[in-house]
């Protein structure tokens, strides 16, 4: 028998470089998704359409995320995670560079939809890869490192790209995001070790994730739990100027406070989740209800509006915990479940903005969006309770309990750098 020498485990530096590569992709995706929101008037003028019509490009991208996450996870079920990440970021890169060259509005909408397709699958697979590289008790923090790219984008990438987009051209932003995607492809190619698909990987194995009630409950929790944040954030500029009577020059400050809150929440939330996963999720839902209610009650006061905006950004702390929870309950369908998290996130985006718009249209005012957020979090709390009850019932009857997949594929942990 020939002895096969095992590859040495990755060093701390190698793991750090992989995390940087994955976070770089998150930064590019976050910048491309959010910066366009500040450039809609420029897009509208360029294509001779109204600003509301220009908003269709945001909807097209979100639709691409919702559709692409599960479809790509299924299509790539038999691929290695490294290969899948490279393909996803390559599509993202090409999509953004093509968006920068779009000749007309219809082609621009189609390109934004296509560019959104890899979004959810990228974050889902990146979270699985990051979790596989660290001890089990540090999984949530590893997921938080990947999401840090997204949260930093809201704080730094989005305003910087919006500035250059307004100063030069909105097309410059897409060129820059395309280059970020190309950099990510390079970093993943260099630093992420080669891996092999899991034994028995396939479409049916991934689809089985949606037969687990806990997966569906966790996705429903994400759709409602994050919806409150978007119900407020979608109308925060108008709330600041029309309710708190702040000058429009303060809007960038408000946006920055929200971005700082997201980063603080992401870092702290991932640490808390490693100590108590379900405890963190439950606590954040209660925190959401309090903070959203505070927002509505104090929106007329500029200082309180700034403070509550920062705290609403902090509600992103639930993100790493919910993503990790999906890994635990998905059994063999981890890729599909993890990718679908970002479909749920975009459903939350659409749901929160729609419900917030409804209360404003019915004359309750911009401040009432906080009450919408509190109501959504209250619904999320019921979903959370149902998940806990089901988990306890399964614990009492192990024969029918779905085995937790809390130990992601550890093949990368001992792989040799490419």
- In sequence order, which residues have a C-beta less than 8 Å from that of residue 315 and are 6 or more positions away? 228, 229, 261, 265, 284, 287, 288, 291
| Residues 71-94 as b or e (16 or more Cβ within 10 Å = b) | bbbbebbebbbbebbbbbbbbbbb
As a dihedral over the C-alpha atoms of residue 343, residue 349, residue 355, residue 358, rounded to 10 degrees, the angle is -130
Q: Of the candidates 127, 40, 106, which has an alpha carbon nearest to the alpha carbon of residue 330?
A: 127
For residue 310, give Cα distances in angstroms to 146, 258, 292, 295.
21, 5, 11, 10
Q: How confident is the model at residue 203 (pLDDT cuts 50, 70, 90)?
A: low
pLDDT on residue 416? 41
Average the pLDDT over 294-323 and give the result: 89
In the numeric block, which tokens belong to residue 114? Answer: 């296509």
* CATH number of domain containing 219: 1.20.1250.20
Structural domain count, the chain: 1
123 contacts 346 by C-beta, under 8 angstroms: no
Q: 401: exposed, middle or buried (C-beta count within 10 Å: 0-12, 13-18, 19+)?
A: middle
pLDDT on residue 341? 79
DSSP 255-316: HHHHHHHHHHHHHHHHHHHHH-HHHHHHHHHHHHHHHHHHHHHHTTSHHHHHHHHHHHHHGG
* Higher local confidence (pLDDT), 115 or 229: 115
226 contacts 313 by C-beta, under 8 angstroms: no
What is the tens place of the pLDDT at every residue in 135-160? 877 878 888 888 888 788 877 777 77
pLDDT on residue 5? 39
Q: Which residue has the tokens 């095992």?
A: 6
Domain-located, residue 410:
yes
Q: Of the candidates 8, 251, 270, which has an alpha carbon nearest to the alpha carbon of residue 148?
A: 270
Cα distance between residue 395 and residue 20, in whole Å:
38
Domain-located, residue 5:
no
Domain-located, residue 233:
yes
pLDDT on residue 184? 93
DSSP 192: S
pLDDT on residue 8? 58
Domain-located, residue 236:
yes
In the numeric block, which tokens belong to residue 105? Answer: 């509005």
Q: Which residue has the tokens 């400050």?
A: 253
Residue 1, Cβ neighbours under 10 Å: how many?
Answer: 3
Domain-located, residue 373:
yes
In the numeric block, which tokens belong to residue 201? Answer: 């990987």
pLDDT on residue 351? 82
What is the tens place of the pLDDT at every residue in 170-192? 888 899 999 999 999 999 999 88
Domain-located, residue 281:
yes
In the numeric block, which tokens belong to residue 386? Answer: 């149902």
- In sequence order, which residues have a C-beta less than 8 Å from that of residue 181 and are 6 or more positions away? 25, 28, 89, 90, 92, 93, 96
3-state helix, strand, coil in the chain (%, to 5): 80, 0, 20
User: Does 94 score more than 90 pLDDT?
Assistant: yes
User: Does 196 score more than 90 pLDDT?
Assistant: no
Domain-located, residue 350:
yes
Residue 249, Cβ neighbours under 10 Å: how many?
Answer: 7
Average the pLDDT over 247-253 and give the result: 78
What is the tens place of the pLDDT at every residue in 381-409? 999 989 888 888 877 765 544 444 444 44
What is the tens place of the pLDDT at every residue in 329-348? 776 667 777 777 778 887 88
Range of the domain at 266: 12-414
* Higher local confidence (pLDDT), 180 or 133: 180
What is the tens place of the pLDDT at every residue in 38-65? 677 788 888 888 766 777 787 788 888 8
Calculate what percentage of the chain has a pLDDT beyond 70: 86
Q: Of the candidates 385, 387, 355, 382, which has an alpha carbon nearest to the alpha carbon of residue 370?
A: 355
Q: Of the candidates 336, 373, 126, which has an alpha carbon nearest to the alpha carbon of residue 226?
A: 373
In the numeric block, which tokens belong to residue 226? Answer: 């994050």
pLDDT on residue 197? 62
Q: Taking the model in full, what pTM does it have?
A: 0.75
Domain-located, residue 166:
yes
* Higher local confidence (pLDDT), 40 or 274: 274
DSSP 9: P
pLDDT on residue 405? 43
Give all strands (DSSP E) within 126-182, no chain letters: none
Average the pLDDT over 69-91 and give the result: 83
């Amino acid at each position: 028998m020939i002895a096969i020498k095992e590859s040495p485990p990755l060093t701390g530096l190698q793991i750090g470089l992989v995390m940087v590569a994955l976070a770089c992709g998150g930064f590019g995706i976050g910048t491309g998704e959010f910066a366009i929101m500040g450039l809609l008037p420029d897009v509208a003028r360029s294509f001779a359409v109204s600003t509301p019509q220009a908003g269709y490009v945001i909807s097209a991208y979100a639709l691409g995320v919702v559709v692409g996450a599960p479809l790509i996870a299924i299509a790539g079920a038999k691929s290695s995670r490294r290969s899948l990440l490279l393909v996803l970021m390559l599509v993202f890169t090409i999509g953004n560079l093509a968006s920068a060259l779009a000749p007309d509005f219809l082609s621009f909408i189609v390109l934004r939809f296509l560019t959104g397709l890899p979004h959810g699958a990228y974050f889902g697979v990146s979270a699985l890869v990051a979790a596989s590289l660290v001890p089990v008790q540090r999984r949530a923090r590893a997921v938080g490192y990947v999401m840090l790219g997204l949260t930093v984008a809201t704080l730094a990438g989005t305003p910087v790209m919006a500035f250059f987009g307004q100063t030069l051209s909105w097309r410059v932003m897409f060129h820059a995001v395309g280059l970020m995607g190309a950099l990510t492809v390079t970093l993943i190619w260099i630093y992420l070790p080669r891996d092999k698909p899991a034994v028995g990987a396939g479409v049916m194995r991934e689809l089985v994730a949606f037969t687990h009630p806990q997966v569906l409950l966790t996705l429903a929790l994400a759709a409602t739990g994050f919806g409150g944040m978007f119900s407020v954030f979608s109308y925060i500029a108008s709330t600041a100027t029309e309710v708190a009577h702040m000058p429009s020059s303060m809007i960038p400050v408000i946006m920055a406070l929200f971005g700082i809150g997201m980063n603080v929440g992401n870092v702290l939330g991932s640490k808390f989740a490693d100590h108590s996963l379900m405890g963190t999720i439950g606590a954040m839902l209660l925190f959401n209800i309090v903070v959203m209610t505070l927002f509505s009650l104090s929106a007329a006061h500029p200082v309180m509006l700034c403070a509550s905006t920062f705290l609403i950004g902090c509600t992103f702390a639930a993100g790493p915990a919910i993503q990790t929870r999906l890994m635990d309950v998905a059994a063999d369908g981890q890729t599909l479940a993890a990718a679908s998290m970002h479909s749920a996130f975009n459903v939350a985006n659409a749901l929160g903005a729609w419900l917030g718009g409804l209360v404003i249209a019915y004359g309750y005012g911009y401040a009432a969006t906080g009450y919408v957020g509190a109501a959504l979090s209250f619904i999320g709390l019921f979903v959370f309770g149902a998940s806990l009850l089901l988990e306890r019932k399964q614990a009492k009857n192990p024969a029918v309990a779905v085995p937790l997949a809390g130990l992601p594929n550890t093949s990368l942990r001992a792989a040799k750098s490419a």
